[in-house]
Amino acid sequence: YRPFFFFFFFFLSQTPWLWNTRQCWNGYPYQPLMPDLHYYYIVELSFYWSLMFSQFIDIKRKDFGIMFTHHIVTVTLITFSYVTNLTRVGTLTLCLHDAADVVLEAAKMANYCKCQKLSDLLFLTFAIVFIVSRLGIYPLWILNTTLFELYEALGNFPALWVFNVLLVILQILHCFWSYLIIKAAYKAISKGKVAKDDRSDIESSSDEEETVPRSKTLHSTITTNGTGGSNGTNGYLTGGTCSEEH
């Protein structure tokens, strides 16, 4: 799934609405559905449906409800924007979210290859990209065009409010996961230790933190949506010894 990000970003780089969000509403709702845009939606929707179902067979964590809410909101947003032909801004939203996840997957691969320093560097890169994209670009770019530019161009209509409520819920989740990332990074940098996943491996596990000393390397845990995780399943980044990290 992740390699498709580069193909779809190349597709978006040739569209006028990537550089000018007001183009998202030019001619709406009579905007042709391009084949590449259609395939982008199909790939993304299938991916998030798979995450929704795999969560039930994965290790249950404290933020199970929040993760499930995220998947429900995402699937609803993708479906709703497709049905109402809000696909232009939908592709921008999907691309922005995928940008951080690509770095996360690279960090996981580096950990699997036991390239600890590279994994640490990629984790820090992921944290920066996640926070900048989800707390900076997302509200200033996506929410700005859906809350203000869309209203100015087309006026008020029911789909506008449904769409914006779902997008604002995503922003609230971004703030929660950014807090966990910053907290994990701060502990790792200040203490030089691996902090236990704030969410814990299972719902009934102890909340007491477990730390593993180390000398130089940074070990932190995050998921595909920015939360922490201590098991390498369902996209979770694993913290381990100095030679092993997700």
Whether the CB-CB separation of 203 and 61 falls below 8 Å is answered with yes
- pLDDT reported for residue 6: 84
User: In this structure, what DSSP letter does residue 212 have?
Assistant: E
Q: Spell out the residues 6+ positions from residue 21 whose beta carbon is closer than 8 angstroms to its own.
A: 89, 92, 141, 144, 145, 149
- pLDDT reported for residue 232: 39
The stretches in the chain having pLDDT less than 70 are 1-3, 188, 191-246
- pLDDT reported for residue 41: 94
Q: What span, in angstroms and rounded, lies between the C-alpha atoms of 191 and 43?
A: 41
Half-sphere exposure in the Cβ direction for 111 (13 Å, CA): 31
- pLDDT reported for residue 66: 84
pTM for the model stands at 0.74
Q: What angle do CA 53, 75, 162 make, to 5 degrees?
A: 145
